[in-house]
Structures are given as C-alpha cells and as structure tokens.
Amino acid sequence: MAIPSLTTAKSIAHDVSLLPELHKWVLAGFVALGISACTTPTPSNAPSGVTNIYEYPISAVAQRESIDTDDTTLNRDAVLWSQKIAAEKGWLFALAELESLEAGLLSPNTERFIRSQLFWLEGDTIAADNELGKIFVNSDDGLDLLLAERQRRALETGNAVAAAQVALERLKLGYQGQDSATYSDVFNFLSTASEQKIAAELRKAEPRSDWAAWLSLNRAYRQGRQEVMEWRQQHPRLPNGLLDLPSGLPTWLNNDLPVRVAVLLPLSGRLKDAGERVLQGVTEGFFDSYRDAALRPQLITVDTELASSGRAAYLTALERGADFVIGPLTKERVAELQALDSLPIPVLALNRGATGVSMSFSAEKPLLSLSLAPEDEAIQLAALIWQAGLRQPMVIAPDSAWGQRMHSAFNTQWSALGGDITAITTLTSELSDNETIANSLATLQSESRIKEIEKAFEAPVDSQARRRTDLDSVVLLSPTPQMAREIRPLLRFHYAGKLPVYAPSTIYQGGSGIANRDLNGIKFVLPASALATASPRSQPLHALGLDAAALIDHFDQARETGGTLLFGETGDLSVDTMGNVHRRLKPAVIARGKARPVL
C-alpha cells in the first residue's frame, strides 16, 4: 500500500499511531511538560496579553482557549521536539503526535514550521517551501531558525551557492546561539558547488560587492596558493567584516612543506603492482604540486613487505630522516599505526584502518586516512536521491561484505537526512535474480491474483500484472558492470523500468560504449579524472598517489576545517574529526554508452 501524503494524513494520523482518546490527553500533558522544561519561566506578573507562550509555564498556556492568529513567535524547543520524533519514528508518526496536541499549545508559526518540515520529509518540497514562506517572525532567534532551515534545504537540494548566501544573511543578523552560522560555513558551502556554478554566479555578481569577493576567493583557492595571495593583495578589506581568511586558509598559506617524505608501500610480493602504481602517482604528484625544485620534498621509499609490521616500517622511515610519511597501503598495516599511542611525524595513510580500531586526529597522533573507500559513494548517492525529492527508494545489493558495507553507509546517510528505506533487496545464490527482483516488486503476487481470477471465472482476464506502487527510485549497489547489466533488464521486465536508478562508479566500464548502453539513463558518481580522456591519471591507484602528494600541503589545514581541502583526482577531499578523508565525486549519467557529467 502506498504511503499516504501529508495532505491526507491528518484524517488517518491517529489510526497510524494507534493513539486512543485517553492517550491523546496524556500525550499532550507529557509534551507540555517536556517543552516547558526547556523554557524560561516568566515572572508571576506576566501580562495576560503576552503572545509568546514560551515565556511562561506551559501549564498556564494549556488553560488558554486560543492563540492570536498574528502571533509571530517561533519556538526552537518545540521544533527540536518534532525533529526528534520524526527521526525516531518517521514523519507520519510525528504528524500524529502533532495532531494529538491540545489546541493552543503551539503558536501558529511554530505549528506551521513543523508542518513544513514534515512536508519536506515526505518529499513534497513545493508545499514545504510554501508553508515556510507564510511564517513571519519578529525575534532574532526566530529569524535565525527560519534562515537555518532555508540554508539546510538549499544544501539538501544541491544549491550550495544559495546556502552560502543564506549563511551570510545569518551572519549579518548577528544572532549567537545554537548552531550559529560562521564565515567558514560560507566558504565551505561554496566549495561544494561546481567550478562552473561559481564562475556563472561570479558573472552575475556586482564586481566590487562582498558577494563577488567571496566567489572570487573560492575560485582562487581552487587554482592554488599564488592565486589566493594575489586575491589577498587585491582585497585589503576582507568581505563582510572578516578579521582573517576562513576555513584554515591562513594555516595553508603559511604552511612549511616537509623536507623528506617517506612512502611506505608494498614494492615486492603479491601487492607489488598496486604499490608501484601508487608510487608512480606520488612521484608525478610531487612534480605537479611542487614545481619549485628548491621547495620540493625529497622522496624516499620503504618496502612494507620487507618490514615485520606497520610500526617497523614507520620506524625505518624515522631512522632514514623522514619528517612526513605517506602510507601504508593495506588496512592491517594502517591499523598497526593507529594502535600506537603517539606518532612523532605526521602520517597520511592510504587506507582506513581495520574495523574496530579507534582513530583520532590530533597533535599527538597526526594521522589522516586517504582511501578509495566505496562507502563515500554510497553516502553521496543518498544525498543525490534526496536532492531529487525522492523519498521511497528500493535498495538492491549483493549478499557480500562489500554489499553490506555499501548498504550500511547508504542507510546511515539516508536516516541522517530523515528518510526511511522503503524496500531492501538482497541478491543471494538461493534464488535467481529474476525471482528476487519479482518478489521485491511484488509482481509475482500480482500475476498470481490474475491467474486466480481467471481460474475462478474460467475465462481470460484483460489485465496486466503490476508492481508495488510505493517506490519512487532504485539504488543499484552493484560491485561490477556485469551485475548492473543483468539487473537493469529485470527492472524493466517487472514494470520498474521508469523508476530513476542510481548506482556507484563500479557499474561503469570506460571504453565499453556498446556494453554500457544497457545502462543508459542510470545516474551515478565518478571521479573527475575518470570523466576525462583515458590516461594513467584516471587509474584509481595512480590518482590516489597524485592526491596523496598534493594533500601533504593541506595536512595542517585539515585540523581547522571540515570543508573541502583539495579538488583532487579521486574526488573533492575533506576530513572528518576522526581523520578520515572523504571523497565527493562528480554526478554523471550514462547516455549512449558514455558517462556524461551532470552540472
């Protein structure tokens, strides 16, 4: 059965949440007490005409029959309460809880704000924005909350430029409270936009405006240190009253490069070819990123296959005078370094540690993990589907360690956005792929019902089997192009051919135009290097080495920002608080057997 829309959910809300009439009043009292605990009591002489109901005990408000229709209050605590309910139980349950509240407990503005958020979670983004546009506030706190919601929605719909503009509005407001905007937010949001969008926005901006300065600064950062220094000379007065450049840029500009860099790679044994590809990328990257020979670090190599452990390889690098380390390449060796209490010289590992090994990124343990982790792609796919306004995906994944990792990453990100996965299809060896897809789409049940009717009436029925209708997209987590080519026709056969399909980069095989035509229309993500003409730089391990060499220059900056550090060959790179380097790839679509960028 299809999930009901928010516009019709009001009539069924209580049935869905199974709240009897008695519970309705108990819940109202419970919520009232919960919200009042987060508010500041008003003196006993508060005037009776005060319309901000959260300025005095909620119990007194419950006795009022109505709230003035021109009330402009917007209560942050009530909004957070609704968000928590929606995150734990879903938007429909949150609506049921909202409908269960006694009239007058929430101001019209607050109720409208909450309903707008529920529209958004349902996927009706137009109704959500219309509802939000009806809200008017007269306090800095309320206005900041309203702007923060617009900022979040701009990001979730892929409009990073608009999100940066809203963040600037919040900064001009000057409100200091929960999750206040920062100047680094403005810069970081712009960094998630494509270079083409930055250039287009810059052409429209007033040349000497603060907005143009922000855009040109971001463009300069994409080009390099020299361009940022020239920008700084051209802008003695920083935009919007900035005291210094945001996002750790001063640290990057004043960074001293290491003198000797040790590369810890398997240069013998079964992983020799992989190690050599990475080393070629690192070597090429040193000449690309550090063109001045006088400043270019000296490169030394350590064969990790000849060392007894990651610790032993690291000590060898120290003994040979290294002041920076790139590597190791395998999870086990990285985990051995992560287990050390301290690291005298920084490490840019080329993999993430084994599961269960704790990580941190600090002065005592300066270790970043740059990898080709496929989970980054699953996370980005979730964001792309949400951005398209789709809320009811079917996830298809193989019953393997890779499939479980990808599904887990997708589900975590999807839940963080506020969504629920509608259907999960696991491909196993116990059933054929055709049977599995048919069961997931419920076409077998539909065909069975038609046959039963035909048998009952002893006559053919002019009807066609149908798939389930509560799906709006497919997430095809395929580890190979071959699997994707096998599943795509099955989706068409079982009446799901018109659903938009999203997939990771593993479905695409460059140079296989004819074979790729079976996948036409699938939206996926791909590193920028893979979208270019075929060259060694497009090889994943070579690209990994290139980015490792360039990221050395941004290592210290990573401690000061979660924004994009490097627009690299493997993706746009940023770092989380645990020291994991995350890749943001380029959205693409397969058209006529070739990958086409989606701008």
pLDDT at 23 over 50: no
Quote the tokens at residue 198: 């930055």
DSSP state, residue 134: T
More confident residue, 37 or 229: 229
* Domain assignments of the chain as residue spans, ordered by start: 6-138, 183-253, 260-373+536-568, 375-503
Average pLDDT, the chain: 84
Candidates 481, 485, 477; CA nearest to 503 is 477
Burial 193-210 (b: 16+ CB within 10 A, else e): bbeebbeebbeebeeeeb
Residue 544 or 438, more confident: 544
Across residues 162-190, what is the average pLDDT? 94
- 528 vs 61: CA distance, rounded Å: 57
| pLDDT on residue 534 | 60
pTM of the model: 0.84
* Residue 100 to residue 25: CA distance in whole angstroms: 8
Closest CA to 214 of 227, 198, 230, 196: 198
Q: What is the pLDDT of residues 135-147, one digit of tens each?
A: 988 889 999 999 9
Contact 92, 3 (CB under 8 A): yes
CA 395 – CA 114 distance, rounded (Å): 29
pLDDT, tens digit, 9 for 90 and up, residues 56-102: 333 333 333 344 444 778 888 889 889 989 988 888 899 988 888 88
User: Do 260-373+536-568 and 375-503 show the same overall fold?
Assistant: yes
pLDDT band at 105 (very low <50, low <70, confident <90, very high): confident
Residue partners of 504: CB distance under 8 A and separation at least 6 = 374, 377, 378, 381, 406, 477, 478, 524, 525
CATH number listed for the domain at residues 375-503: 3.40.50.2300
Give pLDDT, residue 8.
40
Average pLDDT over residues 156-170: 96
Q: Indicate the pLDDT class of residue 490, thresholds 50, 70 and 90.
A: very high
pLDDT digits (tens, 9 = 90+) for 471-488: 999 999 999 999 999 999
Superfamily of structural domain 260-373+536-568:
Response regulator (3.40.50.2300)
Give percent of the chain with pLDDT exceeding 70.
82
Helix (H, G, I), strand (E, B) or coil at 475: strand
Asked if 421 and 450 count as a contact pair (C-beta separation under 8 A), the reply is no
